[in-house]
Structure 1
Amino acid sequence: MSPFPHLDKRQTLLAAALALPLLLRLLRTRRGPSREQVLPPSSERVVLLGASSGIGKDLAVAYAKRGAKICLVARRAEVLDDVRDQLVALGLPADRVLCVPADITKVDDLIAVREAVLEAWEGFDTLHILAGVPSTRTLLQLAGVNLVPDPTDTSAKPRLIPTAIDETGNLAPTSLPAKAGLDALAIEARACGEINYVGTVLALATFLPLLASTSPSPAVHHLSSVAAAIAAPSRCLYSATKAAAYMAVESARVECEGMGVRFFSLLPGTIDNEFRTKTATAQTGGNCEVHNGVKSQWGDKILLKPSQVVDTVLTHLALPTGKYPLIPYPPFSWISGLALPPKPTFFLPFIYKAATILQLTPLGYLYVEPNARKKYGLRA
């Protein structure tokens, strides 16, 4: 007689159902080591392009707490010195901090950064492209033209008509932008393009070969913006140049497949820091939607805490860099062609990813665009 009691069909199915999770756990393909196992945080050599303020400065603080070697890069030398002093005050040895004043739009400056890193550390492991400038007015506002309700239109939602502002700030006799307004637009457009886009592609080309050849786990992080993927009202120039930079990083990622470099772009929404209060050409004067009272309509939910952004960046860069099966169970896990690397793009908050899909449907016009205008203080 069998030592095991006889199981009827129901009992057999129940036993199989209970055993299935354990079986799947045993068969599931294990992920490779995390990047932090391959490259301990205290051994990481980090270059921060745009480290004088905002997320660049916040990342510098986070890396200092981990004991990393940090190269701070920004245009203003005196501000870099202040950031370095803050890192040293946190306990990071002064010899683990490099300060290299540089303009990322200038080739000679970027080469100087590369040479400083090569001389001090013989290479590096992580490149953060963080430098950027905002543009927080509509295209026509930048050219000196405002859209105002037509006083002759008595409908509930009157047509908007262009009204130009002259050099003294008064209403001009014509609705056409003057030369001064168009000149101002050209200056802002070129400033955004130079820093947000040209600086990004120059940084990639300058540092990628050194990064790939000197690190056991090379990684590039580009701080993009949700405005790079979703048309943002009052962010026309910013959105266009961030989209160009994001596509440049993505194209470089595709081109450099097999090089061993991890590419990661973060596309955050509005961050609660001083960035949006600036302009493309000055440290003040930005058209901040929060300062303009939009916060009272939307609440704090429109703002991301800088710590959220920093944590998201570090979490994604710490992921195992090797490919992982799309279906991590045999026999699918044995097919190398079904293995994928970590995701190269992440939206923060993730709901903006849904918005990129919605904008391709009728809901883009009916819901996404009106709410975007409302967020930035324009008529929905």
Structure 2
Amino acid sequence: MTSKLWLLLAIPILLKLLKRRPLPPREARLPFEQERVLLLGASSGVGRDLALVYAKRGSRICLVARRQTELEKVREECIALGLDAEKVIMFAGDVSNTSDLISIRDVIYNAWEGLDTLHILAGLPSTLTLLGQAGVDLSPVPSSRASYTGIKRRDFHVGGATFPDVPGGIPTKEGLDVVAADARKLSEVNYVGTLLALTCFLPLLSATSKSPVVHHLSSVAAGITPPHRVVYGSTKGAALIAMEAARVECEGCGVRFFSLLPGTINNDFRLKLSTSGQPGRDETKMSSIKSGLESLLLSPETVVKTIFTNLSLNPAPQPLIPYPPFSWFRSLDVPPNSTQYIPSLYTWAKLMTFTPLGYLYVEPRARVKYGLPRW
């Protein structure tokens, strides 16, 4: 009996001793002060926050955004934190403009002879419902119309053109033009900009860095069907697919790909004006997001910390199960995850969408979160 007890006690100790040790972090191979970083979309929000952390580390950083004045402010903040002015490059440009991207690449290569870390952060929001953007939204209450399915119906209302047998109106040409303009502009920045950045900088990363990484700031809206995010979510979803497809295509080139899919961040991103001049909703003030059981509102510090935690991981494949005998089989080694949802509850929500719980639980909660009827 005693020998069996000792055996039971010895097993966890033996497993701990035989557990495969994690590989050293990325900074062991690429020290912070040597890192060459490009931030596409660095004038505000998460881009600015990342720049300030890199400045404290002493890294070489290139700040890119369309707003020259805001870029200059971020540059001054970086220098005020002790970063040598010669380590900061500033470029006012558009990620969807091919000439601007080539100029940025040339500037970086001439100054640093290469690139280690690419952050694709530029983005535009759209926080109205699709039909609301066109001026014809759904009534929050059921109509008296009967449905052959027996399910309650809602009528479209608010503005729009009169149309036979369509209660409340129908979108006008002006309304459709608004949707078209926003969709094209968001596609240019959120999707095309990501495609062009990957195309432009991947060869430079692969050829000149000891540990190249590309990070794309995506959104939970790219992976989970989002109300009030039809245009935004579809463009971010396309960009996420571009990142993942490029990762598969470029396997073996040495570049690590990582996309972060955060929920609502407590900053002013959603307040940017859309192409049509329509202001975004300040959703950080909504009680369904700011408080409640899910604690959905993310601090910028949490987002930045999560990004740096993931980028510091050693990109080499490691055992899926770090204990013998599984750790002895190289065929079971996997690299770090290429995507991550935060908060983590969104990972479970994504899995639920493949089951009836997507309709029964996830979608009603999403409608309530963004101020729509639960239905």
Shift in CA distance, 153/96, structure 1 to aligned 2, threshold 3 Å: same
Q: Which amino acid aligns with 1:198?
A: V
Q: What TM-score do you get using the length of structure 2 for normalisation?
A: 0.93
- Written as runs of structure 1 = structure 2, the 5 A alignment for 1:109-120 is 109-120=100-111
Note the alpha carbon deviations across 1:169-192, whole angstroms, 9 max, x for none: xxx996110000000000000011
Note the alpha carbon deviations across 1:102-141, whole angstroms, 9 max, x for none: 1000100000110111011001110000001111011111
Contact 1:289 1:377 in 2 (8 A): no
Note the alpha carbon deviations across 1:184-224, whole angstroms, 9 max, x for none: 00000001111100000100000000011111000011000
Shift in CA distance, 327/294, structure 1 to aligned 2, threshold 3 Å: closer
| Percent identical residues | 52
Say yes or no: does 1:357 pair with 2:351.
yes
| 2:196 equivalent among 202, 216, 221 | 202
Per the TM alignment, residue 300 of structure 1 is displaced from its structure 2 partner at its CA by: 8.8
Contact 1:289 1:375 in 2 (8 A): no
State the distance in 2 between where 1:90 and 1:290 align.
29
Contact 1:136 1:288 in 2 (8 A): no
State the distance in 1 between where 2:273 and 2:236 align.
15
Match of 1:160 in 2: 154
Q: Which amino acid aligns with 1:63?
A: Y
Tell me, what secondary structure is at the counterpart of 2:322? coil
Contact 2:181 2:276 in 1 (8 A): no
Question: RMSD between aligned alpha carbons?
Answer: 2.2
Q: Which amino acid aligns with 2:305?
A: D
State the distance in 1 between where 2:115 and 2:205 align.
6
Per the TM alignment, residue 327 of structure 1 is displaced from its structure 2 partner at its CA by: 2.3
Contact 2:290 2:296 in 1 (8 A): no
Contact 2:38 2:117 in 1 (8 A): yes
State the distance in 1 between where 2:303 and 2:287 align.
24
- Written as runs of structure 1 = structure 2, the 5 A alignment for 1:32-71 is 32-71=23-62
State the distance in 2 between where 1:21 and 1:134 align.
50
Per the TM alignment, residue 144 of structure 1 is displaced from its structure 2 partner at its CA by: 1.4
| Alignment size in residue pairs | 366
Tell me, what secondary structure is at the counterpart of 1:347? strand
Say yes or no: does 1:287 pair with 2:278.
no
Q: Which amino acid aligns with 1:356?
A: K
Per the TM alignment, residue 299 of structure 1 is displaced from its structure 2 partner at its CA by: 7.7
State the distance in 2 between where 1:164 and 1:175 align.
7
Contact 1:47 1:72 in 2 (8 A): yes
Per the TM alignment, residue 291 of structure 1 is displaced from its structure 2 partner at its CA by: 3.9
| 2:5 equivalent among 5, 8, 14 | 14
Say yes or no: does 1:123 pair with 2:117.
no
Match of 1:5 in 2: none
Say yes or no: does 1:189 pair with 2:173.
no
Q: Which amino acid aligns with 1:236?
A: V
Match of 1:134 in 2: 125
Note the alpha carbon deviations across 1:60-91, whole angstroms, 9 max, x for none: 01111111111000011111111100111111
State the distance in 2 between where 1:163 and 1:151 align.
11
Match of 1:7 in 2: none
Shift in CA distance, 297/175, structure 1 to aligned 2, threshold 3 Å: farther
Shift in CA distance, 313/146, structure 1 to aligned 2, threshold 3 Å: same
Tell me, what secondary structure is at the counterpart of 1:182? helix
Per the TM alignment, residue 296 of structure 1 is displaced from its structure 2 partner at its CA by: 6.7
- Written as runs of structure 1 = structure 2, the 5 A alignment for 1:319-334 is 319-334=313-328
State the distance in 2 between where 1:259 and 1:283 align.
42
Note the alpha carbon deviations across 1:288-309, whole angstroms, 9 max, x for none: 3334554577489221000000
Contact 1:201 1:245 in 2 (8 A): yes
Structure 2 unaligned spans of 5+: none
State the distance in 2 between where 1:64 and 1:235 align.
34
Contact 1:73 1:99 in 2 (8 A): yes
Q: Which amino acid aligns with 2:335?
A: P
Match of 2:227 in 1: 233
Match of 1:4 in 2: none
Structure 1 unaligned spans of 5+: 1-9
State the distance in 2 between where 1:62 and 1:55 align.
11
Note the alpha carbon deviations across 1:209-254, whole angstroms, 9 max, x for none: 0011111000011000010110000100111011100010001011
Shift in CA distance, 99/223, structure 1 to aligned 2, threshold 3 Å: same
Shift in CA distance, 282/68, structure 1 to aligned 2, threshold 3 Å: farther
Contact 1:264 1:345 in 2 (8 A): yes
State the distance in 1 between where 2:237 and 2:295 align.
24
Shift in CA distance, 119/297, structure 1 to aligned 2, threshold 3 Å: closer
**Bigger radius of gyration, 1 or 2?**
1
Q: Which amino acid aligns with 1:51?
A: A
Shift in CA distance, 309/290, structure 1 to aligned 2, threshold 3 Å: closer
Q: Which amino acid aligns with 2:186?
A: C
Contact 1:136 1:279 in 2 (8 A): no
Match of 2:371 in 1: 377
Tell me, what secondary structure is at the counterpart of 1:220? strand
Per the TM alignment, residue 151 of structure 1 is displaced from its structure 2 partner at its CA by: 5.2
Contact 1:164 1:177 in 2 (8 A): no
Tell me, what secondary structure is at the counterpart of 1:252? helix
State the distance in 1 between where 2:268 and 2:291 align.
20
Match of 1:25 in 2: 16
